[in-house]
Amino acid sequence: MKAVRGVTFDLYKGETLAIVGESGCGKSVTSQSIMRLIPNPPGKIVHGSILFRGNDLTKLKEPQMRNIRGADISMIFQDPMTALNPTITVGEQIIEGILQHESITRQEAKKKALEMLDLVGIPNPKERLKHHPHQFSGGMRQRIVIAMALVCQPEVLIADEPTTALDVTIQAQILDLFKDIQKKTGVSIILITHDLGVVAQVADRIAVMYAGKIVEAGSRREIFYNPQHPYTKGLLNSVPRLDLEGAELIPIGGTPPDLFSPPKGCPFTARCSYAMEVCDRVYPFKTYLSNEHHVDCWLQDERATKILASMK
């Protein structure tokens, strides 16, 4: 299965890039590829490069990657309970993480752990270091996971659906925490989510994924106020609007294509009410609508008719 097919994006210092799309579109495989966490076999990165500080991460040996993971690029997963070891105190888990990457004493590591728990808003951190994960609420556990991810001051934080397992009040607190931490540390964040409400609150730029490809990308303003890909428009139309009384939700009909045999043309063809003959036959070129805003859709490309004519 080709879960990710030619995805390309940049991540700038101190920004939050949100990667959005429905389940199975390749968001998580993209982030796991950056961390080189795709189990091989059966998965593999067939070609392309992932450039970080001048190194191509796809070419590094596993011990080099181990030094980067957690120290320079960190990851937060959806469910804080599975990310923490239930049998070890949170203090031990954070300290262990620090000692793996930094040559400092245990006492210095403990001091760092305390500072980090304080930064993520855990009250009474000195006492709380001695507690096990089950002694914390879901929101507090996610704060601890965030503390563990940030304790070595990574340059990049990848957060894969970090608020999905939390209720909305806690979700809002965690998103505020992300913004606060980014302001204090300057970390760049890749936020993987299917929740456009979350994206609207924290993202600087947005990449919309569909069937293993980025089909549209742009600034938050461009994607929310001037979406151009029919799939992006469909996603936005299917979000509940509390400001429009009686407004109906418009779901996107149909299902994504089978990525065991991905279509040759635009993968959205079968679900798109604007689909043309060319769409099914050739994958659209990337069309730039501004420096940041680009879209893969024949509707935006005047070459569509020429290409079709040349095929007849």
Q: Which residues bind ligand SF4 (CB under 6 A)?
A: 229-230, 266, 268-269, 272, 274-276, 279, 284, 297-299
Q: Measured from the CB atom, is 189 or 223 closer to ligand SF4?
A: 223
Q: Which residues pair with 52 in a beta bridge?
A: 55
Tell me how far, at minimum, the Cβ of 261 lies from ligand SF4, in Å: 18
Cα separation, 272 vs 281, in Å, equals 14
Cα separation, 275 vs 13, in Å, equals 38
Contacts of 127 (CB under 8 A, 6+ apart): none
User: Which single residue is written with the structure tokens 């262990």?
Assistant: 96
Q: Measured from the CB atom, is 136 or 231 closer to ligand SF4?
A: 231
Tell me how far, at minimum, the Cβ of 7 lies from ligand SF4, in Å: 17
Q: Which of 31, 34, 11 minimizes the C-alpha distance to 21?
A: 31
Tell me how far, at minimum, the Cβ of 208 lies from ligand SF4, in Å: 11
Angle at the Cα of 216 from the Cα atoms of 161 and 241, rounded to 5 degrees = 60
Cα separation, 98 vs 153, in Å, equals 10
Q: Measured from the CB atom, is 121 or 257 closer to ligand SF4?
A: 257
Tell me how far, at minimum, the Cβ of 306 lies from ligand SF4, in Å: 15
Q: Measured from the CB atom, is 222 or 296 closer to ligand SF4?
A: 296
Tell me how far, at minimum, the Cβ of 239 lies from ligand SF4, in Å: 19
Q: Measured from the CB atom, is 143 or 229 closer to ligand SF4?
A: 229
